[in-house]
Amino acid sequence: MNILKLLANLAETNPEQLEQSAPRRAALESLGRFSAKALAAALPFGLATLPAQARTTLTILDSLDLALQLERLQEALYSRALAVTGTFFPADPTFRASVVAMQRHQQQHIVLLTDAIVSSGSTASAPANYDFTGTKNGTQPALFADVFTDFDQFLRLAQLLEDAGVRAYKGQVEYLSTNDFILQTALQLHATEARHAARIRVMRKQRGATVKPWPSPTDTSITVAGKTDIAYAGEDALQQYLPDFRPVPFQLLPVGFPGSTVLTQGVPEAFDEPLTLVQATALLALFTY
Amino acid sequence: MHDNSFLARTLHRRSFFRVAGAGAAASALVLAGCAKEDTITPVPTNQQLVIGKADSVNFTVLNYAYLLEQLEAAFYDKVVTTPPADLLPGELAYLTDLRDHEFIHREYLKFALGSNAYDASFVTQFVFDFSSLTLTTRQGVWTAAQKLEDIGVAAYNGVAKHITTTGYLNMLAKLASVEARHAALAHEVLQAGSWAAPIGATGLDAAKTPIEVVALIQPFVPIEISTAYLPTT
């Protein structure tokens, strides 16, 4: 198949003709009704009128579903950790309290996202089965064999999933841009995830790990090549580009200080990078079966 | 008052900075080049800092983000240059990282804006005013950092929806979560477990409109910030 011919064919296709099944279309049309519920009270602004072009809006539902799956995964991780009896959590009571708060936030996010999906007339996907050791129910070697007995291992997985959650939301925002209400809500969820990630990282640092509150090239790696490393793929980018593809010449801009490592550490730290839906889904798959 | 300060200069140039939008300021600059500075008679007008442009919501939002990043950069620069004596071990390293990140954010947005930066034609940059903050103690410094970072997070959350191109939206999103990480850290260093302070009952971090944010940052900006072109929602 000639790729250029394929692209030409795609370019000639009217996006309206790419609409999918009738139930999906109906769901989209009613997505606009999703402000009357709980969210409206929390966020005092109205829904933007949905554009007629359905293709973009279908992606909104796909984005919401990805977010829901990630939030459920995180909620289950915290829920199981909090259910562990004995001395799993350290003596510092703020550690457990922080995980309690994070679990509560994830529950709230699940309610919010499910409401958004259901209010639109669509159906939330079924919850998956989770295996946080990463063995996929005993069918492959473990990634986090002692996740609920070794608190540091639990924190490493929590960091991985929170950082990836931030990146996954970031990867979806551009597909939400046709709906101001959903876009803003997603960014607020995104910021909450970033606070979670920073707190988890600070907890790890307090327990002796080499890690900063933001992903840094100086962090000790917590990933397995070919598996969990997808969570940080591209995160340490040394280069940023403008929308017109011009690189930002940080080496020529007044960002540096004598003797500092601003170009090799500061720049990658200063930007959180997006994950695509495919990358985020691959990460989810490591802990679901 | 220092001779280089914006206000000192503008006593002479006041009439040229009534509108600081790039186009207007650029033409003012041409005029300034033609006239002898000393002969300019100060005009008692209400001088304003005009952020953005009437004809481009994207450049308006980017300028708004740029002003916020300038503010944070100036804050950490001042703190790192003259740190409080009672910082705990590791805190100066954190503050230095924060300074570096904010300098990078500032220059990133400034480069993206180019001649559309609200201050692209300023002869002298104004100096932020941190006199309302206590920067001689770690408590004061981190309390101020919490405030500025929480404002930054809420500002990005509230304004990004006005961006009309996905390229610029993605640019801001890359910065927004780093600000949230900064905010969480600034809370944690003073009180363990306080990272979630601005998160509301539905699990959402805060969002503020540009008008709300301008009111919060005005004390640090020595010129009245005009909200004329900023989105109202």
Question: In chain A, what residues touch B208 (CB-CB under 8 Å)?
Answer: none
Question: Which residues on neighbouring strands pair with residue B224, listed in sequence order?
Answer: B48
**How many other C-beta atoms are found inside a 10 Å radius of the C-beta of residue B36?**
7
User: What is the rounded distance in angstroms from the CA atom of residue A115 to the CA atom of residue A173?
Assistant: 19
Does A38 touch chain B if contact means CB atoms closer than 8 Å? yes
Q: HSE (CB half, 13 Å, CA atoms) of B103?
A: 23
User: What is the rounded distance in angstroms from the CA atom of residue A158 to the CA atom of residue A150?
Assistant: 12
> Tens digits of per-residue pLDDT, A226-259?
999 999 999 999 999 999 999 999 999 999 877 7
pLDDT of residue B200 exceeding 70: yes
pLDDT of residue B45 exceeding 80: no
Residue B47 pLDDT grade (very low, low, confident, very high; cuts 50, 70, 90):
confident
* pLDDT > 70 fraction of chain B, expressed in percent and rounded: 80
User: What is the rounded distance in angstroms from the CA atom of residue A20 to the CA atom of residue B52?
Assistant: 41
User: Chain B neighbours among A 6-35 (CB < 8 Å)?
Assistant: none
- A209, A283, A273: which is closest to A236 by C-alpha? A273
* Predicted pLDDT at B53: 85
Residue of B nearest to A237 (CA): B174
User: What is the rounded distance in angstroms from the CA atom of residue B54 to the CA atom of residue B21?
Assistant: 9
- Kindly state the average pLDDT of the residues B47-64: 94
Dihedral sign from CA coordinates of A204, A208, A211, A217? negative
- Kindly state the average pLDDT of the residues B116-120: 96
Is domain A31-235+274-286 in CATH 2.60.40.1930, yes or no?
A: no
Q: Taking CB atoms and an 8 Å limit, are A253 and B107 in contact across chains?
A: yes
> Tens digits of per-residue pLDDT, A47-95?
333 343 444 445 799 999 999 999 999 999 999 999 999 899 999 999 9
- A280, A228, A87, A173: which is closest to B156 by C-alpha? A173
Q: Taking CB atoms and an 8 Å limit, are B177 and A194 in contact across chains?
A: yes
Does A191 touch chain B if contact means CB atoms closer than 8 Å? yes
User: What is the rounded distance in angstroms from the CA atom of residue A66 to the CA atom of residue A284?
Assistant: 9
Q: Where are the domains of chain A?
A: 31-235+274-286, 238-271
Q: Taking CB atoms and an 8 Å limit, are A267 and B233 in contact across chains?
A: no
* Predicted pLDDT at A58: 52
Q: Taking CB atoms and an 8 Å limit, are A242 and B185 in contact across chains?
A: no
Burial of residue A81 (CB within 10 Å: 0-12, 13-18, 19+) is buried
Cβ-Cβ contacts under 8 Å for A258 (sequence gap 6 or more): none
pLDDT of residue B11 exceeding 60: no
Does A170 touch chain B if contact means CB atoms closer than 8 Å? yes
CB of A68 within 8 A of CB of A124? Answer: yes
- Whole-Å CA distances, A35 to A93, A179, B222: 38, 11, 40
Between B97, B108, B176, which is nearest A269 by CB? B97
Question: In chain A, what residues touch B199 (CB-CB under 8 Å)?
Answer: 105, 192, 195
Q: Which residues of chain A have pLDDT under 50?
A: 1-30, 32-57
Does A240 touch chain B if contact means CB atoms closer than 8 Å? yes
Count interface pairs A-B at CB distance under 8 A: 195
Phi, psi of A247, rounded to the nearest 5 degrees:
-70, 145
- B115, B116, B99, B5: which is closest to A254 by C-alpha? B99
Class of domain B6-226: mainly alpha
| Structure token pair of residue A249 | 């010449």
